[in-house]
Amino acid sequence: MAKDARILMTFPVTATSHRLDEARARGQYTALEKALKTMTPTEIGKEVTASGLQGRGGAAFSAGRKWSVIQLDDGQPHYLCANADEGEPGTFKDRWILENSPHQLIESMVIAAYALQVRHAFVYMRGEFSGPYERLQGALDEAYAAGLVGERILGTDFSCDILIYRGAGSYVCGEASALITSIEGKRGYPRNRPPRLTVKGLYQRPTVINNVETLSNIAWIVNHGSAAFKAIGTPKAPGTRLISISGHIARPGVYEIEYGYSWKRLIYDDCGGMLEGARLKCVIPGGISTKVLTGEEVEGLNLDPAEVEAAGSSMGSGGMVAIAEGTCMVRLLQVLLRFYHHESCGQCTPCREGMGWMHRIIDRIVAGQGRLEDLDRMIQISRLQDGNTICGMGDAAGYAVIGILAKYRHEFEHWIKNGSSMFEGNLECRRSS
């Protein structure tokens, strides 16, 4: 199988390819026409479920199942939020859609709003994304002018407004419940469940939050049907996936692959291998909250969620970081823990105290004052946070710690015993020669 199907990156990006006229030329908004004029909300929901579409933000939850909790005739407002917070380090693939194919997102959101009986939909975009904001807002202006969003869309009875809600600098607002608390004008504190957000979400109304990429698949699914979607990718993970790859890779960027695509091909063929021909040491598969896999492990795997999970990690947010030989994993973990400490919202005990604790431990190791027991202590802290916090950030930091220590404990032991790094504390790619 060629495994080169494309759903999102179906055209070369030019200075104008994001505009409405060119998007229409590519077939955008035919699905909207089909959905609003020939399908019922329930039918669309069924198609989405049948397609097997999974969330592409990191949690991989079935989109159709999430949608099915919404009771279409409960007489209360429903809300739809596209999660464009994209804060997971290493991840920049939703940005590709926002900047280069905003109409695919807009069209999909209007269809989703119709399927969920939503009158007001939001795109929660991280505050730092000024460029993507300009692009998406420009696209929305075009869509409004063309009657593709707003009142009585395409002359039907269905009306829907899409507003971009800009964040202001907080990683935790990428978590669905923190995201809606932020839209409510407050601190981005995640919420305990129950209630599920699809029961009580934004202002206590049923709310669906989907990742930008997840939503952007909806238009294609409506146009081509769920069976066609299922024919792409793998049986359990249908469709394609945007992968943003960075780090010590020769051609970093966003690539679209079918689920099941060869990991080796992506790194060495599509991305041109490692910088300066360096050897691949390890890969963070899908955002820093996924466990690191060695180069050998990665080269033997396909980018199939099931295979990656069997190998002990996860495809996560699609934010892949390729790390070359000669990189100090101690300093790398220090960067990650500094990040988690900085971003902890502070609401619940294990994360609030645990992140700072682990950060201080690793700073002490890097300063040459580490003890061997520190390593097991960090693992213990990680395990104690796991599943015991209000949101997944508590688990996430733990996976980073446990993953890196599982594979590179010797580097930490070296630093503790010798007071210095095996690689001079280096994080950059050294020339292979």
Partner 1 sequence: MNPALIPEFDRLKARFPADFGSSLVLPCLRRIQEDRGWIAEEDIAGLAAYLGVPRIQIEEVLSFYTQYRRSPVGRWHLEVCRNVSCSMRGSERLLGHLCKKLGVKEGGSTPDGRFTLKTAECLGSCGTAPVMVVNDVYHENMSPEKVDELLGRLD
Partner 2 sequence: MPQIFIDGQPFEARTEQTVMQVADENGIYIPRLCWHPQLSIAGNCRICVVQIEGRSWVEISCNMPVSEGLRVLTDTELVRAHRKATMQFLTLNHPVDCGICDKAGECTLQDYHVAYNGEASISHEPKVVATKFYELSSRITLDNERCILCTRCVRFTREVSQSHALGVLDRGDHSVIRPAGGEGARPLEQDAYSDNIIDICPVGALLSRQFLYKERVWYLKATPSVCPGCARGCTIDIWHRRPEWALKSLDPRHNASISRVTPRDNPAVNGPWVCNKARDLAQLLERPRAHAPMTRGREVGLDAALAAARALIGKARHPVALVSSWASNEELQAFKAAFGARFTCFVKADHQPAEDEVVQDGLLIRADKNPNGDTARALFGDAAPTFAPDTDLVLVWGEGADFARLPRGVPVILLGAFLAPENGHAEVFFPLSVMTERRGHYTNFQGITSAFEACFAPAPGVVHAVQVFEKLALREAVTS
Residue ranges binding partner 2 (CB under 8 A):
170, 187, 192, 194, 341-350, 352-357, 360-361, 364, 371, 374, 377, 384, 387-390
- The CB-of-400 to partner 1 minimum distance in angstroms stands at 10
245 binding partner (options partner 2, partner 1, none; Cβ < 5 to 8 Å by kind)? partner 1
Pairing of strands 118-125, 253-258: unpaired
Out of 203, 227, 272, 371, the only residue in the binding site for partner 1 (CB under 8 A) is 203
Q: Interaction with partner 1 in 220-249: which residues (CB under 8 A)?
A: 244-248
- Please report whether residue 429 would count as binding partner 1 according to CB under 8 A: yes
Residues 89-128, one symbol each (x = binds partner 1 by CB under 8 A, - = not), give xxxx-xx-----------------------xx-----xxx
Q: Does 274 bind partner 1 (CB under 8 A)?
A: no
Per rule CB under 8 A, count of chain residues that contact partner 1? 60
Helix axes 349-366, 393-418, angle to 10 degrees: 20
Nearer to partner 2, 158 or 412 (CB): 412
- Cα distance between residue 114 and residue 78, in whole Å: 11
> In this structure, what are the phi and psi dihedrals at residue 360, rounded to the nearest 5 degrees?
-65, -35
Q: Measuring CA to CA, which residue among 307, 174, 318, 339 is closest to residue 253? A: 318
For the four alpha carbons of 212, 215, 220 and 225, in that order, the dihedral sign comes to: positive
Instruction: Please say which residue, 113 or 172, places its beta carbon nearer to partner 2.
Output: 172
Task: Kindly tell me which residue out of 118, 267, 284, 358 binds partner 1, with binding defined by CB under 8 A.
Answer: 284
- Taking the complex as a whole, the smallest distance from the CB of residue 175 to partner 2 amounts, in Å, to 14
Distance CA 173, CA 84 (A): 10
In the range 183-202, which residues lie near partner 1 by CB under 8 A? 183-188
With binding defined as CB under 8 A, does residue 75 bind partner 1?
no
Question: Which one of partner 2, partner 1, none interacts with residue 348, CB within 5 to 8 A by kind?
Answer: partner 2
Q: What is the DSSP string of 55-99?
A: -SSSS--BHHHHHHTS-TTSSS-EEEEEEE---STT--HHHHHHH
Query: Cα-flanking dihedrals φ and ψ of residue 412, to 5°?
Result: -70, -45
Per CB under 8 A, the list member of 83, 182, 217, 314 interacting with partner 1 is: 182
CA torsion, ordered 184, 186, 190, 194, to nearest 10 deg: -50
CB of 107 to partner 1, least distance (A): 20
Contact status: 327 vs partner 1 (CB under 8 A): yes
User: Taking CB within 5 to 8 Å according to partner kind, which of partner 1, partner 2, none is near residue 419?
Assistant: none
Residue type present at position 86:
E
Which residues, other chains included, contact 145 with Cβ-Cβ below 8 Å and sequence gap of 6+?
A: none
Comparing CB distances to partner 1, the nearer of 234 and 314 is: 314
Q: Which is nearer to partner 1, 94 or 297 (CB)?
A: 94
CA angle 303/309/312 to nearest 5° reads 115
Q: Is 366 in the site for partner 1 (CB under 8 A)?
A: no
Sheet holding 118-125, edge to edge: 161-166, 118-125, 78-84, 207-211
Contact 163, 123 (CB under 8 A): yes
Binding site for partner 1 (CB under 8 A): 77, 86-92, 94-95, 119-120, 126-131, 161, 163, 165-171, 182-188, 203, 244-248, 252-254, 284, 288, 319, 321, 323, 327, 332, 335-336, 338-339, 342-343, 345, 427-429
